[in-house]
Amino acid sequence: MNTPWRTYLLWFAQENVQFRFAEMNSLLSLLNIQMKFIQKPKDIEPYWIVEFASEKDVRLLASRAVSLRSCLELWAHGKSIPDLHEKLKLYPHHLMAPYLQPDKSFKIEVETFCKHFTQKEKVDKIESFNYLPVMGPVDLRKPDVTLQYIEYYGIISNDPPDLPYDVFFGRWIANGLRQLIQKLSLKTRKFIGNTSMDAQLSLLMANQAGVKEGDIVLDPFVGSGSLLVAAAQFGAYVFGTDIDYLMLHARTRPSRITQKEREKDESIKANMKQYNLENRYLDVLVNDFSVSFWRSNIELDAIITDPPYGIRESTERVGTAKECNAVKEEHLSTHIPAKTEYGISSLYSDLLSFSAKHLRVGGRLVCWFPVFREDYDENYLPSHPCLELVANNEQTLTKVTSRHLLTYKKTETFNPLHTAQNEIMDFRERYYTAREETRKERRTRETKIRQENRLRHEKETHDKTNIS
Ligand SMILES: C[S@@+](CC[C@H](N)C(=O)[O-])C[C@H]1O[C@@H](n2cnc3c(N)ncnc32)[C@H](O)[C@@H]1O
């Protein structure tokens, strides 16, 4: 006989709220868990009321969710304190009884969201539950059962209402993965660079990518390797490439103000060692992403990356404008190739084509995409016929700029005739010219760029069709 679904309260952190849905959706699909909403969630509120088929599913979800603080089996939800008590008294006895037996130690915790109460006030609140048929001893340190009472006063902490908006009571099931953010914090990481991705966003990206034990994950713009750390934490074998030799060898200027010189043993590998993830580290190598050196049949489970935007680090590729660029034999061993601008449009075109070719079907590309907010148009995001955009969430950077976290899933086998669609504005160019240009001039210039991109795309497709 099927056990009936139970109601749970998922309580989220009020940080990076915009990624919550995408993270949960991708974890539900990765872990193959069904979840039903009991109440339509509101973006601004830190909780969801949902149903799961089993407690095992809740624990599994919590074991991977970075945006989740905790989960309760929900015994009662009221719109006021008296309402909550009334509802709790109606909760079926046979559902709570197994947790209130004489051999089960317990404690009741009180959480008041956005309003502070003294310890005495909290104890009074606990005592208001003395009608519960608990038989076991109280154990405040390591109880068998933790019951939780939550009063929710909204999210504006400096002006909370007198009475709570919502009140909840339930049995604590599990916490999310918030402690990992602390463990992997950049503050205590051995090797970091100026554009190292913080631990929380790196973990969210790895979850968006659906990384699992034994996966092979690449970051083609690896920098100091923060995204590799997060993917390795979830069991992937990781490797990366970067055009910057000095960065990959930890020979750039130190990024911490307190640090004068880099330590000799700083490296991405040392970071992996620091977190006991060395056995997940494959390697990193110096490579210009625009020049593909990969075996054509190499297959990846995920590509997680933060390409350069051209503001804090340059967008470069190997190349020269000179017509005669042959290097003399005697200079070959010490030659450092010249670099030219790697336009954002070409870069994303390359990234999507590469992903379409080298991801396994079902594999994911998770990448940041910089935008000038005023210009943003969902229709002009990078796209590829083999890749479905499954999530798109914005993070504001400055008054006028944002970046979007894009998650693509490979949905069909790569077809060399397919090319990345790409009518995107060059963020870098836009960033530097924004203040000097009128709106009308900009529109004209953008239309011209789009037309040029479209023509180039049509020509590429036409050439490929003719070749084949
Ligand atoms: C935003 S940073 C990545 C930071 C990285 N996620 C981290 O946590 O340190 C972008 C990186 O792309 C690299 N890059 C720029 N142009 C490149 C190219 N053509 N090929 C490969 N890497 C490139 C830069 O050297 C830089 O390290």
Q: Give the number of the atom of ligand 1 that is nearest the alpha carbon of residue 316.
A: 16
- pLDDT tens for 381-393 read 999 999 999 999 9
The alpha carbon of 223 and the centre of ligand 1 are apart by a number of angstroms equal to: 5
> Which of these ranges, 144-153, 157-166, 225-234, 352-361, has the smallest mean pLDDT?
157-166
Average pLDDT, the chain: 90
β-bridge mates for residue 106, sequence order: 138, 145
Query: Does residue 198 share a domain with residue 115?
Result: no
Of 230, 25, 72, give the one whose Cα is nearest residue 166: 72
Is residue 324 in some structural domain? no
The alpha carbon of 276 and the centre of ligand 1 are apart by a number of angstroms equal to: 25
- pLDDT tens for 263-322 read 889 999 999 999 999 999 999 999 999 998 899 999 999 999 999 987 666 667 777 666
Q: Give the number of the atom of ligand 1 that is nearest the alpha carbon of residue 222.
A: 5
The alpha carbon of 220 and the centre of ligand 1 are apart by a number of angstroms equal to: 8
Is residue 332 in some structural domain? no
pLDDT of residue 379: 87
Tally the domains of the chain: 2
Which one of 185, 238, 242, 345 would you pick to mutate in the ligand 1 pocket, going by the greatest count of ligand atoms within 8 A of its CB? 242
Sorting pLDDT into bands at 50, 70 and 90, what band is 348?
A: very high
Query: Does residue 457 share a domain with residue 427?
Result: yes
Query: Does residue 437 share a domain with residue 392?
Result: yes
Region 446-464: what's the mean pLDDT?
A: 65
- pLDDT tens for 94-129 read 999 999 999 999 999 999 999 999 999 999 999 999
The alpha carbon of 285 and the centre of ligand 1 are apart by a number of angstroms equal to: 12
114, 158 in Cβ contact below 8 A?
A: no
pLDDT of residue 461: 62
The alpha carbon of 279 and the centre of ligand 1 are apart by a number of angstroms equal to: 24
Region 54-79: what's the mean pLDDT?
A: 98
Query: Does residue 155 share a domain with residue 43?
Result: yes
453, 422 in Cβ contact below 8 A?
A: yes
CATH number of domain containing 23 = 3.30.2130.30
pLDDT of residue 329: 77
Query: Does residue 429 share a domain with residue 281?
Result: yes
Percent of the chain at pLDDT > 70 equals: 87
The beta strands (E) that lie in 257-399 are given as 281-286, 300-305, 316-318, 339-341, 359-372, 387-396
Of 232, 175, 174, 245, give the one whose Cα is nearest residue 203: 232
Query: Does residue 222 share a domain with residue 128?
Result: no
Give the whole-angstrom CA distance, residue 458 versus residue 456: 5
Is residue 446 in some structural domain? yes
pLDDT of residue 28: 98
Q: Write phi, then psi, for 300 (nearest 5 degrees).
A: -115, 150
Which one of 243, 340, 348 would you pick to mutate in the ligand 1 pocket, going by the greatest count of ligand atoms within 8 A of its CB? 243
**437 has pLDDT over 60:** no
Query: Does residue 220 share a domain with residue 145?
Result: no
Is residue 337 in some structural domain? no
pLDDT of residue 468: 46
For ligand 1, atom 17, name the residue with the nearest CA.
243
Helix (H) or strand (E) holding 148: strand 145-152
Contacts of 134 (CB under 8 A, 6+ apart): 100, 106
**467 has pLDDT over 60:** no
Give the whole-angstrom CA distance, residue 14 versus residue 123: 26
Q: Give the number of the atom of ligand 1 that is nearest the alpha carbon of residue 193.
A: 9
- The string of DSSP letters for 398-417 reads SSSEEEEEEEEEE-S---TT
Query: Does residue 43 share a domain with residue 141?
Result: yes
Sorting pLDDT into bands at 50, 70 and 90, what band is 450?
A: low
Q: Give the number of the atom of ligand 1 that is nearest the alpha carbon of residue 288.
A: 20
The alpha carbon of 338 and the centre of ligand 1 are apart by a number of angstroms equal to: 17
Contacts of 94 (CB under 8 A, 6+ apart): none
The alpha carbon of 411 and the centre of ligand 1 are apart by a number of angstroms equal to: 27
The alpha carbon of 309 and the centre of ligand 1 are apart by a number of angstroms equal to: 9
Sorting pLDDT into bands at 50, 70 and 90, what band is 158?
A: confident
The alpha carbon of 182 and the centre of ligand 1 are apart by a number of angstroms equal to: 25
Which one of 313, 341, 349, 369 would you pick to mutate in the ligand 1 pocket, going by the greatest count of ligand atoms within 8 A of its CB? 313
Structure tokens at 71: 């989960």
Is residue 118 in some structural domain? yes
Is residue 326 in some structural domain? no
The alpha carbon of 324 and the centre of ligand 1 are apart by a number of angstroms equal to: 28
Of 391, 19, 366, give the one whose Cα is nearest residue 215: 366
Give the whole-angstrom CA distance, residue 130 versus residue 436: 69
- pLDDT tens for 319-338 read 766 666 677 777 777 666 77
The alpha carbon of 9 and the centre of ligand 1 are apart by a number of angstroms equal to: 40
Range of the domain at 229: 189-314+343-463
Spell out the SS3 assignment of 157-177.
CCCCCCCCCEEEEEEEEEECC
Query: Does residue 201 share a domain with residue 151?
Result: no
395, 403 in Cβ contact below 8 A?
A: yes
Region 363-380: what's the mean pLDDT?
A: 92
Report the chain's C-alpha Rg in angstroms. Answer: 26
Query: Does residue 247 share a domain with residue 118?
Result: no
Q: Give the number of the atom of ligand 1 that is nearest the alpha carbon of residue 307.
A: 10
Of 366, 351, 346, 367, give the one whose Cα is nearest residue 426: 346
The residue among 340 and 250 whose pLDDT is bigger is 250
The alpha carbon of 178 and the centre of ligand 1 are apart by a number of angstroms equal to: 27
Is residue 391 in some structural domain? yes
Burial class of residue 136 (count of CB atoms within 10 Å of its CB; 0-12, 13-18, 19+): middle
Using DSSP bridges, classify how beta strands 237-242 and 387-396 pair: parallel, antiparallel or unpaired.
unpaired
Sorting pLDDT into bands at 50, 70 and 90, what band is 428?
A: low
Query: Does residue 239 share a domain with residue 93?
Result: no
Last residue of a domain, one of 112, 144, 176: 176
Ligand 1 neighbours, Cβ below 6 Å, are 193, 195-197, 221, 223-224, 226-227, 241-244, 247, 288-290, 306-308, 313, 315-317, 342
369, 381 in Cβ contact below 8 A?
A: yes
Is residue 320 in some structural domain? no
For ligand 1, atom 5, name the residue with the nearest CA.
223
Residues 217-233 as b/e (b if ≥16 CB within 10 A, e otherwise) read bbbbbbbbbbbbbbbbb
Percent of the chain at pLDDT > 90 equals: 69
**Three-class secondary structure of residue 248 per DSSP:** helix
Last residue of a domain, one of 144, 176, 208: 176
Please identify which residue in the block is written with the tokens 């079926």.
92
pLDDT of residue 98: 96
Which one of 195, 203, 403, 428 would you pick to mutate in the ligand 1 pocket, going by the greatest count of ligand atoms within 8 A of its CB? 195
Query: Does residue 194 share a domain with residue 168?
Result: no
The alpha carbon of 243 and the centre of ligand 1 are apart by a number of angstroms equal to: 7
pLDDT of residue 63: 97
> Which of these ranges, 55-59, 333-337, 387-391, 456-460, has the smallest mean pLDDT?
456-460
- Residues 378, 384, 385, 388, CA torsion sign: negative
For ligand 1, atom 25, name the residue with the nearest CA.
244
Last residue of a domain, one of 176, 207, 232: 176
Give the whole-angstrom CA distance, residue 371 versus residue 196: 20
Q: Give the number of the atom of ligand 1 that is nearest the alpha carbon of residue 342.
A: 19
